[in-house]
Homo-oligomer: A and B are copies of this chain.
Amino acid sequence: MFLDDRKRRILQAIIDDYIDTAEPIGSRSIARKHELGLSSATIRNEMADLEEMGYLEQPHTSAGRIPSDKGYRFYVDQLMKMTELSTEEIISIRNAMEVRINELSQLIRQASMIMSKITRYTSLAVPPQLKKSTLKAVQVVPIEPDKVLVIVVINAGVVRNNMVKIPKEVSPDYLINVSNVLNEKLSGHTLEQLNLPFIIKEVESSVGACSELLGPILNSVVECIKQVDNAEVITDGATNIFNYPEFRDLIKAREFLNVLDEKDIICKLLANNYDKKGINILIGNEHGLEEIKECTLITTTYSMGDIVVGSIGIIGPTRMEYSKVISSMNYIRKKINQEINKLIDEKFE
């Protein structure tokens, strides 16, 4: 598994060129373009070695070489030089993400958008999953004589509500009482901790059972909590794949776009990395999905405080500008975390 310095330099040259041109790379063009001080014949021999070791592949006998998944993996882990974002790129990321944003999911939408724009690949994202966040407050507010609005407030400005019709008019005091009890029982717990059936009983006994009224209200609370995590998936720049010659084949383009439409597959791919730190790279077949085995998926997570709440990523051909994508993603991730925390501070410092 050890590659001497010369092999590494040649492999790097081949992958860099292939990422650039999407054409199989021949020994002569490497000898010409890169100042390695070697003849094409020597390079040819080295390339044959690299192929035998599994880092390169040959589409057919008389063609140049292209990197294999293993080649890309080695490139990403050891060879690749990181690029810096240009100032224009940094500015456009800031502009996209520092707009006045109210809803957390809106922030992720923006992040996804700008990421596909900058990388020119397809971006994926799941909005924050808030199961692990704590419930801040519950309120029951009268709206019309026979309608009340149930409001559930979670972290970071996330609010859900549900209108509910009640069978008979109740006094504001009664509602305040209900609100207080609900607050006491519910707030401070994470959403996934909440043992709702148990709580319902407790509340009933505290308020003095009048389930005719309480029933619909408690149902609404449950409904609100359910609404918090609609496991939606965001994609942007799906048609970017048409820019890449490896998808000039209609069948491949179609397969790719079809996978993007399978929200649950994307969801799983993005959820994969919740426990891992930093940026996660799945090259080619590493994710094991037949339909996109010629794609690379690069993902990362974002957090609220210390808790990972969601994930964003990009998907594109294995021949991808890895370093560009990684540096954009690092920056965008940092920005997301910043902005989330700003939101929390503002709304609940």
Question: Which A residues fall within an 8 A CB radius of B?
Answer: 102, 136-137, 139, 141, 143-144, 147, 149, 151, 153, 157, 159, 161-163, 165, 223, 227, 238-239, 242, 248, 250, 253-254, 257-258, 261, 346-349
B151 A149 Cβ-Cβ under 8 A: yes
Per the bound structure, the CA–CA distance linking A147 and B227 in Å amounts to 23
A227 to chain B, nearest CB (A): 7
State how many copies of this chain the complex holds: 2
Which residues does chain B contribute within 8 Å of A151, judged by CB atoms?
141, 149, 151, 161
Q: A238-B257, A250-B253 are in contact. List 17 more A-B contacts (CB 8 A).
A: A102-B162, A136-B143, A137-B143, A137-B144, A139-B141, A139-B149, A141-B151, A147-B347, A149-B151, A149-B159, A151-B151, A153-B163, A159-B161, A161-B161, A165-B346, A239-B254, A257-B257
Per the bound structure, the CA–CA distance linking A99 and B310 in Å amounts to 28
In the complex, the chain B residue whose C-beta lies closest to that of A176 is B172
Which residues does chain B contribute within 8 Å of A254, judged by CB atoms?
239, 242
Per the bound structure, the CA–CA distance linking A102 and B239 in Å amounts to 32
B143 A149 Cβ-Cβ under 8 A: no
Contact partner of A153 among B136, B143, B159, B348, CB < 8 A? B143
A71 to chain B, nearest CB (A): 28
B153 A149 Cβ-Cβ under 8 A: yes
Contact partner of A139 among B143, B157, B223, B242, CB < 8 A? B143
